[in-house]
Amino acid sequence: MTEITDRQRTELVQRALQARERAYAPYSKYRVGAALLTESGEVFEGVNIENAAYPAGICAERSAVFGAVSSGQRTFRALAVATQNGGTPCGSCRQVLAEFGLDTLVLIVDAGGQVVAETTVHDLLPKAFGQDSLGLR
């Protein structure tokens, strides 16, 4: 598991909570914020964005990852995910996170800022489908 400092942990939790306030969730009312720490030390935030055509929306975790990758980042250290009740990333988000590192630390945070779970992408998605599955490594 990737280690991060207490300062980094606090910053990620706070930024995920702040991002959650900007989520666009008029249908489910389930706002999610994410803060992703890259290996270079940059933090990318993401929010869930719903759409009346439900499949057109995006989760906060993937929003953060896609922003980071669009900026040239490919290696992640940690992700904080803030929801009302400490919900975990969905299957699609777990698969996207696995693409960039199974050892990424994942902090699951409730609306009060309490870390309710600390895990890794590997633990969230054991036996992940990846480059090895395609014979690319």
**Catalytic residue numbers?**
61
Q: Is 99 helix (H, G, I), strand (E, B) or coil?
A: helix
Q: What is the distance between the alpha carbons of residues 116 and 114, in angstroms, rounded to a whole number? A: 6
| Phi-psi map region of 3: left, alpha, beta (phi>0 left; psi -120 to 50 alpha) | beta
Q: Which distant-in-sequence residues (6+ apart) come within 8 Å of 51 by Cβ?
A: 57
